Structure 1
Amino acid sequence: MVDNITSYSNSGRLLANHNPNATSSSQQHHENYCHKIHHQSSNIEHEDYANHELEDQASAAIKEQDRLLPIANVGRIMKQILPSNAKISKEAKETMQECVSEFISFVTGEASDKCHKEKRKTVNGDDICWALSSLGFDDYADPLKRYLHRYREFEGERVANHNKERENNSHG
């Protein structure tokens, strides 16, 4: 039978000297050693958890960044309505960035739900107009419908002109 168990760290430092037949102070020492090892293990687990948490936060930051419109674009749009000498604070731009991004997500989510129910995978302009109306934003839906109609006319003309140009180049 082993009378004495001695444990050393990787550096050769004595960690514990345990004698199973020893007095209670030696047992206390061993229990302290075991507690220390368990605590170190817990710290490692905690560090792993913290590392995963940091990775999750970084991932969330990326997702947050992907969710928001670019702040430079938001600032440019805000400046269009203001006098040329007006200044916009960073906080105002960030607030507007959050608001418009949330609004777009809200409307797009409604349009996406409609497409899902209709077993379609692509959200189109008509779906966005429908979502605006169904959410009570008729003041936005009607001008957007007119814009969408004009955009489609323009695109149709552009494609037709492009096709004519290609046809002329292939015969000339």
Structure 2
Amino acid sequence: MVDNVGGSSSCNGGENREQERLLPIANVGRIMKQILPGNAKISKESKETMQECVSEFISFVTSEASEKCRKERRKTVNGDDICWALGSLGFDDYADPLRRFLHRYRELEVDRSTNHPEDSP
């Protein structure tokens, strides 16, 4: 293995890859503020910690869903796969509401495409 001695590009490249893996911190902060009282302050460290946690959780669930798809020789992970993965990993408290949301979302998409066919792709 050869290190990139003298070049700082490997550090920046690694940092960029790390940032690509994480949810945008502004979005994480916005979601955190929604649950807190209006006068609450959130430290940068708290936002960064939550950013890492939620990004890892999403990666964990997506990996499980992706593995299911791989075993079924499919290339596309869909919402049902994510719901299955949540249940499979023991997150039933999240899986059931997400299934209901996904079902409702799909109903609304059908209604939208039926009522406004010009808006559909």
In 2, Cα distance between the equivalents of 1:69 and 1:58?
A: 18
Q: Does 1:50 align with 2:8?
A: no
Could you list the per-position Cα deviations for residues 18-50 of structure 1 after superposition, in whole angstroms to 9, with x for gaps in the alignment? xxxxxxxxxxxxxxxxxxxxxxxxxxxx9x831
Out of 28, 31, 39, the residue aligned to residue 77 of structure 1 is 31
Scaled by the length of structure 2, the TM-score of the pair is 0.90
Out of 112, 116, 119, the residue aligned to residue 162 of structure 1 is 116
Which gives a bigger RCO, structure 1 or 2 (Cα 8 Å, sep 6+)? 2
Judge conservation of contact 2:4–2:10 (CA < 8 Å) in 1. Answer: no
Letter of the 1:114 counterpart: K
Structure 1 alignment gaps of length 5 or more: 1-45, 167-172
Letter of the 1:131 counterpart: A
Equivalent residue number for residue 10 of structure 1: none
Letter of the 1:50 counterpart: V
**Aligned CA distance change for structure 1 residues 50 and 133 (closer, same or farther; 3 Å):** same
Deviation at 1:51, TM superposition (A): 3.6
Return the index of the structure with the highest Cα Rg: 1
Q: List structure 1 segments (4+ residues) > 2 angstroms apart after TM superposition.
A: 54-57
Structure 2 alignment gaps of length 5 or more: none
Equivalent residue number for residue 59 of structure 2: 105
Identity in percent: 73
Number of aligned residue pairs: 117
Letter of the 1:112 counterpart: S
Deviation at 1:103, TM superposition (A): 0.2
Could you list the per-position Cα deviations for residues 95-140 of structure 1 after superposition, in whole angstroms to 9, with x for gaps in the alignment? 0000000000000000001011111110000000000000011111
Could you list the per-position Cα deviations for residues 1-34 of structure 1 after superposition, in whole angstroms to 9, with x for gaps in the alignment? xxxxxxxxxxxxxxxxxxxxxxxxxxxxxxxxxx
More strand by share: 1
**What is the alpha-carbon root mean square deviation over aligned residues?**
1.6
